[in-house]
């Protein structure tokens, strides 16, 4: 089972890691034409797209993922058609209304970025991006790994090529950066529409929509609250911090998202895996407990790598005006590692079909977030925002894990978790002390310390010989799937 899980994750990862690595390597090119204040505009604009992403999805994609293998094979195309048409219609309606009311509505939210063209672009980028959610989820749940990786890589190359042309050839600056994202998402949106038309079958019955809709209804308020969580920090920063500082915050967030890429890779394989395990095995709670620990152990290594090595990467490729980014990167890596804890140990409400508690969790996190941002950002600036989002994310994850274990009980491997946490903290502390005059030597020292930490985790957390046997199975499974 572990071999299957990590083999699938590895194949997903080949495309996604290339995309993320490419995005990071493109940053120095963009820095030739964009200023930190331009990234402030990008950060505020992207907040709108991030807010709309869960709102437009309305939890319906999660419903399809949850019930895909429960539906009879002959009925699946009808369910998919109903869900797709519903999401498409609601997304078009919401984005159209926001476009019409945007100049008045967004003037109440942001002071430093104009609705036209920046926020208008963000609205339709969210719409175009939403077209990919259901088709990509189908590729994941069916374990069509290579096609998924090719599509993700194709999306990145299309967007990057268009963006570079607009910025360097047409000299459109920050507008070109945002338009490149919109045009790339729109072109691939057309491809995904064709894919879904091929998937769909007619006629439709009421049950084809009502069953996934009933599952998604409790998620919809949570989706709105999740969207508000993503935009709250930018709202308060816009009121109390200048565009240059918001630009550094945005770039640090992007580097931190590098660790979330690995979380996303694991998540793509993890969710279908646990749904199958819980439907096929009587010992599913014990499997879930052990594999949740493996999930976090694997993700600790890229998180440490990004948190520690970003300094050398920025100093090697970047301009001096961007060196201040690193100060905030480890905090964003921690933010996304808490997300990984939620994904690994927080599965349970969906397995027990108790999704009604999801809005309560999001509301608690949003309350903590808004209060701390209101209190801390005027006093601490960027660090106030970072402390607020970390605290809110911790509260959400704590509640989620508690409820998940309450409604879907499983063993808690407390000793292994404590040892792993101590190992991660020790590795970060020791490696961060590397401070020679050579960037290469600093990087080598940090890599050596991370490697030693990986061995420590395997030896004490994953139980030595069984762990190495499992790694061997995973590598053999990966080799077989790549053929």
DSSP for 111-170, written as a single string:
SSS-IIIIIHHHHHHHHHHHTTHHHHHHHHHTT-HHHHHHHHHHHHHHHHHHHHIIIIIS
Instruction: Decide: residue 449, CB within 10 A, 0-12 exposed, 13-18 middle, 19+ buried.
Output: buried
Measured distance CA(212)–CA(214) in Å, rounded: 5
For residue 262, give the nearest of 300, 289, 290, 291 by alpha carbon: 300
pLDDT value, residue 476: 65
Measured distance CA(216)–CA(59) in Å, rounded: 5
Measured distance CA(440)–CA(311) in Å, rounded: 11
In angstroms, what CA-CA distances link 30 with 157, 163, 393?
15, 9, 31
pLDDT value, residue 39: 93
CB 306 within 8 A of CB 448: no
Measured distance CA(144)–CA(175) in Å, rounded: 36
Backbone phi and psi for residue 381, each to the nearest 5 degrees, phi listed first? 65, -130
Measured distance CA(120)–CA(380) in Å, rounded: 31
CB 88 within 8 A of CB 97: no
Spatial CB neighbours of 134, under 8 Å, sequence gap ≥ 6: 60, 61, 64, 80, 83, 84, 87, 192, 196
Measured distance CA(6)–CA(266) in Å, rounded: 8
Measured distance CA(390)–CA(376) in Å, rounded: 13
Backbone phi and psi for residue 410, each to the nearest 5 degrees, phi listed first? -155, 165
Measured on CA atoms in the order 353, 357, 359, 362, is the torsion positive or negative? Answer: negative
pLDDT value, residue 65: 80
Measured distance CA(139)–CA(148) in Å, rounded: 6
Cis before 117? omega within 30: yes
CB 199 within 8 A of CB 80: yes
Per-residue exposure over 293-323, b if at least 16 CB sit within 10 Å of its own CB, e if not: bbbbbbbbbbbbbbbbbbbbbbeeebeeebe
The 8-class DSSP code of residue 68 comes to T
The 8-class DSSP code of residue 323 comes to G
The SS3 of residue 194 is helix
pLDDT digit string (tens) for the chain, length 483 residues: 666 665 655 665 666 777 777 887 888 889 889 999 999 999 999 889 888 888 888 888 888 887 887 888 888 899 899 999 999 999 999 999 999 998 888 888 889 999 989 999 999 999 999 999 999 988 878 877 778 888 988 999 999 999 999 999 999 999 999 999 999 999 999 999 999 999 888 888 888 888 888 878 877 777 777 778 888 899 999 999 999 999 999 999 988 888 887 887 777 677 777 877 877 778 888 888 888 888 888 889 989 999 999 998 888 876 778 888 999 999 999 999 999 999 889 888 877 778 778 888 888 998 999 999 999 999 999 999 999 999 999 999 999 999 989 998 888 888 888 888 998 999 999 999 988 888 899 999 999 999 998 888 877 776 655 555 655 665 666 566 555
């Amino acid at each position: 089972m572990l071999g299957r899980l990590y083999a699938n994750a590895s194949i997903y990862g080949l495309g996604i890691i290339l995309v993320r690595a490419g995005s990071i390597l493109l940053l120095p090119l963009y820095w030739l034409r964009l200023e930190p204040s331009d990234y402030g505009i990008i950060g505020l604009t992207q907040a709108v797209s991030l807010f709309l992403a869960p709102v437009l999805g309305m939890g319906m994609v999660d419903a399809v993922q949850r019930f895909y293998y429960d539906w009879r094979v002959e009925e699946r195309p009808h369910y998919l058609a109903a869900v797709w048409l519903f999401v498409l219609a609601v997304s078009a309606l919401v984005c159209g209304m926001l476009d019409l009311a945007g100049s008045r509505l967004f003037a109440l939210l942001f002071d430093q970025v104009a609705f036209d063209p920046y926020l208008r672009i963000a609205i339709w980028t969210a719409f175009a991006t939403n077209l990919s959610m259901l088709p990509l989820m189908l590729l994941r749940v069916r374990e069509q790994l290579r096609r998924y990786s090719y599509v993700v890589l194709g999306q990145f190359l299309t967007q990057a090529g268009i963006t570079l042309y607009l910025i360097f050839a047409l000299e459109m600056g920050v507008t070109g950066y945002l338009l490149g994202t919109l045009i790339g998402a729109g072109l691939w949106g057309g491809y995904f529409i064709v894919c879904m038309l091929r998937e769909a079958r007619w006629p439709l019955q009421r049950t084809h929509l009502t069953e996934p809709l009933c599952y998604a209804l409790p998620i919809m308020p949570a989706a709105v609250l999740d969207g508000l969580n993503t935009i709250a920090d930018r709202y308060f920063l816009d009121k109390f911090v200048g565009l240059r500082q918001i630009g550094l915050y945005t770039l640090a967030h992007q580097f931190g998202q590098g660790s979330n890429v690995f979380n996303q890779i694991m998540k793509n394989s993890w969710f279908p895996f646990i749904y199958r395990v819980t439907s096929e095995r009587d010992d599913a709670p014990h499997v879930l407990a052990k594999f949740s620990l493996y999930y976090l152990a694997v993700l600790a290594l890229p998180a440490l790598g990004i948190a520690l090595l970003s300094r050398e990467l920025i100093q090697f490729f970047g301009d001096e005006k961007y060196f201040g980014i690193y100060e905030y990167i480890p905090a964003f890596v921690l933010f996304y590692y808490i997300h990984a804890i939620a994904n690994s140990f927080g599965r349970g409400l969906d397995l027990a079909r108790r999704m009604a508690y999801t809005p309560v969790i999001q509301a608690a996190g949003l309350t903590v977030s808004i209060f701390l941002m209101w209190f801390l950002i005027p006093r601490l600036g960027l660090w106030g925002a970072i402390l607020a989002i970390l605290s809110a994310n911790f509260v959400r994850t704590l509640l989620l894990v508690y409820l998940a274990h309450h409604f879907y009980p499983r063993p808690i491997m407390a000793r292994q978790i404590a040892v792993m946490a101590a190992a991660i903290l020790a590795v970060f502390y020791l490696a961060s002390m590397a401070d020679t005059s050579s960037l290469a030597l600093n990087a080598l020292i940090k890599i050596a310390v991370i490697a030693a930490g990986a061995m420590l985790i395997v030896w004490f957390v994953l139980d030595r010989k069984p762990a190495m046997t499992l790694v061997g199975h995973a590598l053999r499974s990966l080799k077989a799937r790549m053929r």
